[in-house]
Chain A
Amino acid sequence: DARVTQTPRHKVTEMGQEVTMRCQPILGHNTVFWYRQTMMQGLELLAYFRNRAPLDDSGMPKDRFSAEMPDATLATLKIQPSEPRDSAVYFCASGFPDRGSVLPGELFFGEGSRLTVL
């Protein structure tokens, strides 16, 4: 049963600490998205990768957030230093474009990482 795996599922940390969230996309998928969900802003796109290359990270606060794909089986989202306003659920999703297109097919979402920054 192929699925997107995110760790940790829950994280409580103090302001100023570094937080790293990890995502294992479904094997064979070449597109990875990071989203943040809050009550106020809904689902915001933070960054996305195709074939491990970052295509767009304009939704990400650059001063404290960074996203990488060290290899095809791992995507990371790091916050340093964390702030209370970063408290949210962070979703990773993976998929692959339709043949001959940049448009994604179905995106498969992980269960999310719930981050609380005190």
Chain B
Amino acid sequence: AQKVTQAQTEISVVEKEDVTLDCVYETRDTTYYLFWYKQPPSGELVFLIRRNSFDEQNEISGRYSWNFQKSTSSFNFTITASQVVDSAVYFCAYSGNTGKLIFGQGTTLQVKP
């Protein structure tokens, strides 16, 4: 069965620090998608990125970057120069052959001023 593990339950950093959120997945599917979602204190789930299993290129969007490594089944998320507004719960998620979207347990990021 597919599984997503976010080993870091909580991370606390000071503003302007870089921070990496880890995500490891388990699957036997050959084709799948990986996602990151952000849940700010207001509670809504905000889509950040989707990555196809055939595309291992790293992606950068502003202060956000993602490192997908199939060899280690990891899809890590880095925030550069963190800001207080980045404080949120971040979820890694997986979708494979069944079409179901499975979430990890989430990592709570606190960025202190």
Check: B45 CB closer than 8 A to any chain A CB.
yes
Known: A42-B106, A43-B91, A89-B43. A106 touches B50 (CB 8 A): yes
Known: A56-B98, A103-B95, A103-B96. A42 touches B43 (CB 8 A): no
Surface stretch bound by B, among A11-19, A67-75, A79-87, A108-116: A108-116
The reply to whether B97 and A102 contact each other, CB–CB distance below 8 Å, is yes
Count how many chain A residues have C-beta atoms less than 8 Å from C-beta atoms of the other chain: 25
Question: How far apart are the CA atoms of A42 and B3 in the complex, in Å?
Answer: 14
The number of residue pairs between A and B whose CB atoms lie closer than 8 Å in the complex comes to 55
Check: B14 CB closer than 8 A to any chain A CB.
no
Is the contact region of chain B dominated by helix, strand, or loop, or is it mixed?
loop
Question: How far apart are the CA atoms of A112 and B47 in the complex, in Å?
Answer: 15
Contact of B102 among A45, A50, A91 (CB under 8 A): A45
Which chain B residues numbered 46 to 78 have a C-beta less than 8 Å away from chain A?
Answer: 47, 50
Check: A118 CB closer than 8 A to any chain B CB.
no
Give me the interface of A with B, judged by CB distance under 8 Å.
Answer: 31, 33, 35, 42-43, 45, 48, 50, 55-56, 89, 91, 93, 97, 101-109, 111-112
